[in-house]
Amino acid sequence: MTTETLAPERAATRDAVPFGGYAAVVGAAALAACNGLTNWVLSQQTYETTADMLEMIAANRTVMLVADALGLLAAILLVPGIWAVTQQLRQRTPVLAGIGGWLAASGYVAFMVLVVEGQVAMAVVDSGGDPSTYVDALDNHTSIVQLMVYVVFGIGGLLGPLVLGVAMLRQRDVYPAWAGAALVASPLVRMGGLALGVHVLPAVASLLMAAAFAVVLLRRAAPAPAADAGSPGA
């Protein structure tokens, strides 16, 4: 008599990111606070060159230190949080959600370049020496790798939430349309603020993202019907 050995079932991955939904909401809120503090500093003086940035940091050292700390917290929480949101949205729109999650998570990994840049600039200011070498290095000798990091941050951080928002809009039977619209609008509001010099808008954009992520956290999507299981998601 032979005994059949059955392979163990694969573990469910529904909760593969513990507390990921909370991380997404808190991370986006931390980013909004970071944007808000930076907005306050930028409203005090003009920032156009690297030399201006050093003067701005010297005049507002404590505020900028707290803003960088909040930026670090935002990046730490947003990357797993975005994957948790993506995991929920992929149940109905796997392709769109997967692309959006990959872009957004990669963008906020690259976002760390701004935190590191701010802390290096702060160290230059605190050294009390001549910052001209730092200014020349940053303005005239940036490497292709560093430029690529900025590109990944720009493209991922802006396009990722937009694509995730479209994925939410495709699931209006589960998530309210305003939440998907808020996520789509968040990068547009952020870009508008940067392009027009309206410094408050990046903080508003982060709050829109936090609100949309909160809706995903509170309303878990049901799995797609069995009849649609074989059809490709979009």
Low-confidence ranges of the chain (pLDDT < 70): 1-16, 220-234
Q: So what's the pLDDT on residue 220?
A: 63
Task: Report d(CA 46, CA 118) in Å as an integer.
Answer: 17
Task: Report d(CA 67, CA 31) in Å as an integer.
Answer: 9
State pTM to two decimals: 0.84
Tokens 């209006």, residue located: 172
Phi-psi bin for 197: left (phi > 0), alpha (psi -120 to 50), beta? left
Give the sign of the dihedral formed by CA 117, CA 120, CA 126, CA 131.
negative
Q: So what's the pLDDT on residue 43?
A: 85
Q: Which of 142, 135, 85, 141 is nearest to 108 (CA)?
A: 85
Tokens 């949101």, residue located: 85
Task: Report d(CA 161, CA 27) in Å as an integer.
Answer: 14
Q: What is the pLDDT of residues 62-91, one digit of tens each?
A: 999 999 999 999 999 999 999 999 999 998
Instruction: Evaluate whether 171 touches 233 at the Cβ level (below 8 Å).
Output: no
Q: So what's the pLDDT on residue 2?
A: 47
Task: Count Cβ atoms below 10 Å from residue 89 Cβ, excluding itself.
Answer: 28
Domain regions of the chain by residue span: 20-220
DSSP state of 8: P
Q: So what's the pLDDT on residue 15?
A: 56
Q: So what's the pLDDT on residue 91?
A: 87
Tokens 């699931």, residue located: 171
DSSP state of 219: S
- 16 Cβ partners below 8 Å, 6+ apart? 87
The amino acid at residue 191 is M
Q: So what's the pLDDT on residue 9?
A: 40
Q: What is the pLDDT of residues 24-47, one digit of tens each?
A: 999 999 999 999 999 999 888 777
Instruction: Evaluate whether 138 touches 57 at the Cβ level (below 8 Å).
Output: no
Measured CA distances, 110 to 84, 125, 219 (Å): 19, 24, 29
